[in-house]
Structures are given as C-alpha cells and as structure tokens.
Structure 1
C-alpha cells in the first residue's frame, strides 16, 4: 500500500462526499492506486454484496469491520440511499463499489448517485475497469468514410423472444456502433438472431481481463456457427459490439436526388448538412458527392 499512499495520499479528498469506485472485472491487478487509498480512507463502504467486497478488500491486504460495510443493491438501493445521505451530511466519506466494474453501468449505483445529488451532496468518480470500454478499445470499429459516429450502449436485450426480435430488428437500422451485454446461457440465441445483420461486423468479447479472455470479430451471419464450433466459446460473460453500418449501395440514388434538389436552392455546405440530416448519410461522403454533381452539371 506504500505506492498507493505515495501517489494518492497528497491529493485532496473532500468530506461529506460519495466516492464511486470501479473495481476489477476479473483481473485483481486492474485496480487503481487511488481506489486502494480511498478504500482505506473512507469511513464506510457501501457495496452490492458485503461478503464479496470483504473478500476483495482482503485480497489487497485491507481489513474492514463488518459494521463498516453497508449493503446497497438493486433491491434496497432507494431506501439505503437515505442512510448514506445521512452519513454524508454528518461529514463522513463513503465509498460505493459494485461487485465488479464501474457502478451505475448495468450495475446498481445510479439511483444512489441521483439521490445524493438531489440532497445537494457530491459524488466523486474513481475510474477503472469496464467491460464496455475494454471491448470497444480493441474492437476496431471504424465508421464508414472515417467519420466519428460515437456508440450506443444498449446493455442486455429483453429476455422475451418476441421483444428481443423486435429490438434486434430495430438495431439493424442503427448506423452507429452498438454495445450489448449477454449472459453465457443466452449468447447462442443472440448470435442466431443477429444473422439478420448479414455481413455487418460483430465483435464477441468474453471473459475480458480473465485467463480465458477471447475477442473475435467476424460477420454477424457467421457468429452463431463460430460459437458452435467449440463449447468453451459460449462460456463466460459477453460484450457484443455491433460495428457501424456501411452505407448501403441502394442509398446512393436517394442521396443524389435529395442533394440535387438542395443544391439548386442552397450553398453547398448547407445543402450537404441538410441532406445528411434527412438521409442519415455521411456528411464527408455527401460533400464529395455534391462537388462531383456540381462539376458534372
């Protein structure tokens, strides 16, 4: 803990604040020095599972009396938040950790932070492990024409078959990168349903940061067969990344039609901006096409 003290100790840690701490998602080495320092510093630790957190603390040589571990999970979060707020109002420092990863992202914590903010108190994030950003960082999602399109975090799809089918059909028309989460017992069903995306690239990332971590990118229509080839490929928690949609060839005619109508009345940049908003096309690609149309005309 000397390194944590040396690096993080001189920093300022306000009292009466909630410290939202990301914890490892598999590899225990993926914890920050600041997180270790704050876990020693705070007056109490709110946690999704007190037994799990106690074991995590002991793995780093930290000991906390059971009375300083407060259970705050999805079933009692709203009610337990009031107890946390009372402690903060007394000037205590409280940490919050979920079982793994970053709280509030597919884990409890969002309601707690919302109520802390409503009480006029401060929540301080301590960043760290996240399966979502880890998968995105290596998926190689390059939008068409090199534009930055961002990503959509969807999380877990509905469990009912009809609702999942509807959700996936809607995602087929989402041009941006989409991040899904899936459990091992449903990954095969999800992969089979993703066949409707055809050649759209999909990255399957399982067991991120763990010993049997595996990340593969392939066409959506091949994902189900890939999983079926080896039983172990369906084991572990999954992050599924749908890569950005490539522009469909059939769109070009409609893009040209809209562009020509707008170019007849508006400056090129304005016409391109409006065409992108109307058609959902790439602004860079539409600008190049607008120049071609003007030169040809």
Structure 2
C-alpha cells in the first residue's frame, strides 16, 4: 500500500512539474511560432498556435530593417569583454576576501554586499555625469570598464565557493613551497570551476540582454546593441510583431546555446554556492 502511495505521489509530482514547465515555456513557444507566421496569420484566431506553412520572410525582414550583424558584433564585443573582466578579476577578489587574512577584510565584504541594496536608478545620474567628464559617453568603455573592477553578486557567489576550500590544502601547498599566486592558481582556481562557470553564464546572460546600459552610453546608431535594435520594429503607431518575434528568436539563441553548454556547471554552482558561509 505504501509502495502504491509513493508511486501515485511521484506521478502527481511529475505531472505538476510538466504543467509548470509548459506554463513557463508557453510564451517562448508563442514567440517562435509567431516568427514563422505571416502578419495575417499571426492575428487570425483560426490559425491556432502553429503556422499552416513555415514563412521565413520575417527573418529576411530582420536583416532588411536593422544592420543585424553589426548590432550582433557590438553586443558580442561588449559581452565578451565583460565576461573576460569578470573571469579575471572576480576570482582574485573572492580569494582575497575568503582565504587571505588582512585587516578590514570583513568590513570590505560587508560594504560590497551593501552596494547590492542600492538600486541602479539611484546612482544612474551620478555615474552618467562621471563618464561624461571622462569623455567616454558615446563609446563602449562605460559598459566594459566596470567589469574589470568586479560586480558584487559575482564576488559573493565565488567567495562562497572559496570558503568551501579546506584551509589545510592551502597550508599543504605553502609547505610544499608554493607562493601566494601559485596557491591561488594551482589550488583555489581548479576547485572553483563550477563557480567560475556560474558567474561566466550570469555575466554573459546579463550583459548580452542589457538594455539600459547601451541606451545610456551607446548613443550612436553604429554603437547599438541587439537589445536596442529590437526597438526598430516599433514605431509610434504600430509594431511589426512577426518580424519582432523573429528578431527576438535570433536574439535568444546565443543565450540558450551558452546555457545549454554550461548547464551542468551552472546547476552545480547554484546548488553548492550557499552551502558554506
């Protein structure tokens, strides 16, 4: 009887999970199917979810409406530099805050954590004025340079990984003759690969889809990113929904590919980053 109850409970659990997955994936499915419909089909109730025939004209229209490859190149350049800065700087900061003993370490970490409580809109204008005085507005640099100083969320995630490294390993490496940099590169980094993969995916997803940053600083059409380019399909009186859905589908693909490649490390990183504080 208990075996039967467990079976029924497991079946109900999987049914609920599948239903929830469908609810969350349904908008994505609508976006993709709409991108293959004609404009008339998209607003015809009789058509249903799936198009009668696959129409690729919307994807051609994307390249005719915006310089897609240029916007994609701009987006990948900003994203790649942000990921590079995150991967280089964040592990060093996290290691310093978790494994190197120095005066004021905990205070600095508290201040870094506290900055996450400040909404971006509260510091947006002062930051903009700073970049104006530096003469960097109208370039990619305001979107790239901050990554090389570390983002609080990524520092916190990786610090949790570093705290999980036994101090005995680092002490053994020190006894074997490893200096501080060797202990960092040869011991700490290999043990935090899931954490580095996690912040890499986070950095890629956030930067690739960022809208407000490019809107503020990339104020020339030749500097636009894909997130800004999507607004080219909207005008004052109408929206070209089918072409917009095609552009959004292509916009989503790089993020989906990166997530699928690193999903194992991502899930492992999320599940273990908070185990030790």
Tell me the TM-score normalized by structure 1: 0.23
Q: Which has the higher helix share?
A: 2
Tell me the TM-score normalized by structure 2: 0.24
